[in-house]
A and B are shown apart, each in its own frame.
Chain A
């Protein structure tokens, strides 16, 4: 906790490499995937992991590794969308509450309380039940569910920034609240938001998996890690690789994003 300008540690380096690989898998999965993830070969079903098929093959003889790679896009899109929706809504509500008058703060506070009182997964379930499954509804659903948590946090931040010296000085100088929001408070929060975003993407990916398990995820032929995990779980006694590898992928991804987020958080705090 001492060095201010710490060099990048090995953990961060590994994390960064993983993130780059994930981005490549998201944008151009064909570069990393050795096979067509949709190619059916019934005679190759349930092959264990080998040099030919690193993660083995599934019940339709599809290469599980290629499917995990191709599933990155949907999974991360859900995560990113959820984060964008959750954080976007939270910034809106949080700043309204933090900057507005007491009545507005009270109103937003009640809205947040309502959202908190409804379990997040229920909100997501209802949303998906109404709109149907898929990347966009799942992403929005998970985002909605995470918004109140972010919002409460941002409200606290805005209030502490508003009451801090520089914002008060700006107010004394006759600047409007909104100007000081734009000029001072938001920039001040940016690094904080970035940290939240990294943490949030990982968690959103994990929660999206639960929707898949409950049968409310993306529709085939699209693949997504949660859907693979849920489908592979049925074969856990016969073909362990179908659930272990996607599971490890989810855990490693979410953990990496969380670790990176925390390391940014520590930096932000130290500088």
Chain B
């Protein structure tokens, strides 16, 4: 019981800290909020309009009062209204959350599939195959999302005319954005899996499986892969965060409505309620994903050993 309570308190603390950090960070963006309210491109606010907005929104009150107000609102589930769009933040998030979650989930799935295929296919005994697989992974990790996306658009939209370059309803519109997000992540997951896959192939349990006369394919697919997937599974929480970062870029490039793009325009417009609201939602989803991967870990590997994962730190 105590553990559960500690856990809940931990989550509450993290959310509070995320909100506080983001709110003060957003407040520090140059330019005053009243301008964000009247702002937008080519808009011109007069001093009297600014004064009116300051009074209306309470921007002339002490900073801490405004902060307390915002927290109070959050406790009642009120994320406030966007300065620029004047619509409730909950509504904006409602419209964009699904798009980003679908994009991130599909990208994660595709990244997983590609990583498994490359790792499986290139860890045969052939040194050339291994080197090639490794090179592919390292290259994929080193490609910026927006550049990969641009090249994909040039080839598959402009050149071949197969897929739409900007967001479109249905599966066709998802292919290029998902690939742009998934391939760099696949390279990364592949690296992690390859290491543990190779280790697993030399491990005693695979040797004994071989000794029992199981086929090499079965050894690879069942025993080694299961082992190799463990560290990559526990990375999925982290991978989700990285995909959200990538989504900012990919959603902008492919003009997809989504949390990432909402966040970017929020930062560019100094739209504090939007920034805080979106970050809060992302943090909640991140925590949920982390719980899920922890649970998956515990089921798959009761020992739950803290495997050191050097590459985890190398990317976001």
Contact = CB atoms under 8 A, between A and B. Distances in A.
Contact of A265 (B14, B146, B242, B310): B310
Interface of B: 10, 13-15, 17-18, 21-22, 25-26, 28-30, 131, 135, 138-139, 141-147, 150-151, 154, 158, 191, 198, 202, 238, 241-242, 244-246, 248-249, 252-253, 263-264, 267-268, 270, 275, 279, 282-283, 286-287, 306, 308-316
Chain A interface helix/strand/loop/mixed: helix
Given A129-B267, A199-B314, A233-B150, A259 B141 contact: no
B249 to A, nearest CB: 5
Interface residues of A, number: 60
28 contacts: A11-B131, A110-B10, A116-B238, A116-B241, A117-B287, A118-B18, A118-B21, A118-B22, A120-B241, A126-B22, A126-B25, A129-B270, A146-B315, A149-B312, A149-B313, A206-B142, A209-B147, A210-B145, A210-B245, A213-B253, A214-B249, A229-B147, A233-B146, A243-B147, A250-B144, A251-B143, A254-B141, A255-B139
Contacts of B30: 129-130
Nearest to A211: B249
Interface string A112-128: 01101111111001110
Contacts of A146: 313-316
A125 B267 contact: yes
Given A120-B242, A199-B311, A255-B135, 10 more contacts: A118-B18, A118-B279, A122-B245, A145-B245, A156-B306, A199-B313, A200-B314, A203-B315, A206-B143, A213-B146
Given A114-B17, A117-B18, A122-B248, A230 B309 contact: no
Contacts of B312: 149, 152-153
A178 to B, nearest CB: 23
A200 B315 CA distance: 7
A120 B29 CA distance: 17
B292 to A, nearest CB: 15
A150 interface: yes
Contacts of A114: 14, 17-18, 21
Nearest to A253: B142
B270 to A, nearest CB: 8
Contacts of A110: 10, 13-14, 17
Looking at B26, B29, B150, B154, the one whose CB has the most chain A CB atoms below 10 A away is: B150
A90 interface: yes
Nearest to A127: B25
Contacts of A237: 154, 158
B26 A126 contact: yes
Contact of B267 (A126, A229, A230, A259): A126
B313 A210 contact: no
Interface string A133-168: 000000000000110011011001100100000000
Nearest to A257: B142
Contacts of B141: 203, 206, 254-255, 258
Contacts of A119: 241-242, 244-245, 248, 279, 282, 316
B150 A243 contact: yes
B252 A214 contact: yes
A143 B238 CA distance: 17
Contacts of A111: 17
B19 to A, nearest CB: 10
Given A114-B21, A117-B283, A254 B26 contact: no
B119 to A, nearest CB: 15
Contacts of A195: 310
Looking at A113, A209, A247, the one whose CB has the most chain B CB atoms below 10 A away is: A113
A265 B311 CA distance: 10
Nearest to B131: A11
Contact of A210 (B17, B18, B249, B279): B249
A171 B292 CA distance: 38
A217 to B, nearest CB: 12
Contacts of A129: 29-30, 267-268, 270
A236 interface: yes
Nearest to A247: B147
A195 B309 CA distance: 12
A37 interface: no
B310 A192 contact: yes
B308 A157 contact: yes
Shortest 8 CB-CB distances between A and B: which pairs?
A254-B142, A121-B245, A120-B316, A149-B313, A117-B283, A199-B314, A150-B313, A209-B144
A259 B310 contact: no
Contacts of A127: 25
A153 B264 contact: no
A130 B28 contact: yes
B42 to A, nearest CB: 18
A258 B248 contact: no
A71 interface: no
A226 interface: yes
